[in-house]
Amino acid sequence: MVYLFLSEPNWIDEVDSESTKMRISLLNQLESVLWSLMMSGGRSEARLWLCNTIAEMSSITPHHQRELFVKLLRSMRQKQGLASQLLLLMFEKSPQKGGFILVKRSYVLEKFFEGNPRRISQWFSSFSSGSGLEHGKGAKALSQFAFINRDICWEELEWKGKHGQSPAMVATKPHYFLDLDIQRTVENFLENVPEFWSSNEFAESIRDGEILFIDRQFFVQYFVDLMYKEDSKDMWEVINEFIMEQPFSSLSRHLLITLEELDLCYFLELLCKLLKPKKESTSFDRGSHLFEIILSECSGCGSIDQILLLNAIITQGRQLLRLSRDEEAKEEQAKINDILSKISAIPSSINSLTPFFKNCFKMKNVEVIKYLGLQCWLLYYRLSQECQTPQSWESLFVENEIHYRKSDKYALLDLDRSSDESIFYFDYRESAVVKHRKRQKGKSKRRKKEHDDIYDDELLDFDAKNHGLDVQSTTGSCWLLSTDGYSTSWTSADLPEHLYKHCLLKWMTCFFAKRVEGCFKESATNDEK
């Protein structure tokens, strides 16, 4: 029998110190095994999990994320990797911001084009053939400037033919610009027409930032120099603006993975100062609240090992399960099975975790989260092993007083079948499963119904075979549960993870609610004294 311990603990029970000590000792062993699994491929994967968890946090405001990332950027003058990654993201998401910076400094692009025929060709060669298409941005800037300032620069235009073209001729036939020798012309402008590089025509051509994509690395280095060597005010204003506009999730996923571990520790410290989570919360309706408490409790520890472990336990249960099933992890898997066997041998009842819960009141918050998280992950591991059939799942629901509705998620294939016909209701107080069906009228309708049922079964079987799915998980083993208000249809494959997360949040809510109540009582007693 697998207990999920979803009932309110009986807080008046005496603490069974021996069983509690045994459970904690076994959970400490499990901690070592899981850490070994996480580190088997290096720390990079565990750090990626941590970055993904941070990215999912929803309590960070745009102003907070600006403060957070700008502080980090300004602290890393000697390490330009983060700034470079941010700038590449800005080029991708908002290239016009880079264009805005360049418009004020268009003259610097003389160096960009000097001695580089490839860049010259890419930016200035797109002249219109007269078929309705406009000149490219660089070509348009060159032609407009040449017409407006023909008295100072027309002679610098180099033509491929035997003779050049006059302004009057090109004005009537713009496609003549196709005969321009772009490379030689631009080289002439670089040497003899400095006015072009600071002109409005050229500045306008780079305003939208399209020029950044000709050579991203050149502009990344130029902007990094503006940030750190020149401490350019307008450059930092653009950075501030861009950071505030981007989703926190996007910034975190793109930037945090580039940090060295020491810098990631500094980021976590900054993040913790902004969060200030309410540890007395009695409703852990989101896993990220637990993670905020972990950050708060672990801040200043000088190492992120504990954060990596706790994050893996409470948010990456599926990934840990995957690692435990790896072919190269047979030794660790054997250890987990042994720990599971010993913990399962501890006398169980629906309230068997009460002594364990009560013992947790002696611990710090972060220790409570660790032990409850380890216990919960072990439950996840056990469910994924032992619950392999629809009958085993339904037995689990009944034993743990979980209301459920069983529904064929492919019912839409049968257009004549009402959605109510495929739903089963369970009430643990009656311990009965009642299948509701509507009566069919008329033999022809019954025959059609039977034909449709057979057809549906064939379709389901075909789908399962052709997509490598578990037939049990697609034909008759799909449930709606009271654990989430019947809002999601769960299959056998996803139920262990759902129940693991549900139990974790339920246990945390229960424990911290009691801890707050205890604090209130203690405070009231002290006031009376």
Domain around 406: 390-491
**Which pLDDT score is estimated for 285?**
52
Mapping DSSP to helix (H, G, I), strand (E, B) and coil, where does residue 426 land?
Answer: strand
Q: Is the residue at 173 inside a domain?
A: yes
From 24, 35, 509, 48, select the one nearest 290 (Cα to Cα): 509
19, 346 contact by CB (below 8 A): yes
399, 386 contact by CB (below 8 A): no
From 471, 227, 465, 59, select the one nearest 219 (Cα to Cα): 227
**Which pLDDT score is estimated for 338?**
96
Mapping DSSP to helix (H, G, I), strand (E, B) and coil, where does residue 217 land?
Answer: helix
Burial class of 292 by CB neighbour count within 10 A (0 to 12, 13 to 18, 19+): buried
**Which pLDDT score is estimated for 409?**
59
Q: Is the residue at 525 inside a domain?
A: no
d(CA 474, CA 461): 9
Q: Which of 175, 202, 228 is the last residue of a domain?
A: 228
Q: Is the residue at 372 inside a domain?
A: no
Q: Is the residue at 268 inside a domain?
A: no
**Which pLDDT score is estimated for 194?**
93
Return phi, psi of residue 41, to 5°.
Answer: -110, 20
pTM for the predicted model, two decimal places: 0.77
Return phi, psi of residue 410, to 5°.
Answer: -100, 15
Q: Is the residue at 14 inside a domain?
A: no
From 71, 90, 88, 44, select the one nearest 268 (Cα to Cα): 71
Q: Which amino acid is at 237?
A: E
d(CA 190, CA 184): 10
d(CA 211, CA 23): 63
HEC-encoded secondary structure of 142-165: HHHHHHHCHHHHHHHCCECCCCCC
From 191, 185, 184, select the one nearest 110 (Cα to Cα): 191
- The total number of structural domains that make up the chain: 2
Q: Which of 228, 248, 280 is the last residue of a domain?
A: 228
Q: Is the residue at 358 inside a domain?
A: no
DSSP 274-339: HH---TT-S---SHHHHHHHHHHHHTTSS--HHHHHHHHHHH-HHHHHHHHTSGGGHHHHHHHHHH
**Which pLDDT score is estimated for 433?**
35
412, 445 contact by CB (below 8 A): no
**Which pLDDT score is estimated for 7?**
81
Element (H, E) at 435: strand 432-435
Q: Is the residue at 273 inside a domain?
A: no
**Which pLDDT score is estimated for 101?**
96
Tell whether the torsion through CA atoms of 139, 145, 148 and 154 is positive or negative.
negative
Q: Could you list the mean pLDDT of each consecutive 10-residue stretch along the chain, which spans 529 residues?
A: 80 70 93 93 89 90 94 89 96 96 92 94 76 71 90 88 70 72 93 94 94 96 96 96 96 93 90 70 57 76 82 92 92 95 78 74 85 94 92 93 79 37 37 37 45 42 38 60 92 93 87 68 47
Q: Which of 228, 262, 282 is the last residue of a domain?
A: 228
The DSSP bridge partners found for residue 433 are 426
From 184, 209, 196, 44, select the one nearest 125 (Cα to Cα): 184
225, 97 contact by CB (below 8 A): no
From 438, 439, 382, 430, select the one nearest 403 (Cα to Cα): 430
Element (H, E) at 393: helix 390-399
Q: Is the residue at 444 inside a domain?
A: yes
d(CA 90, CA 452): 55
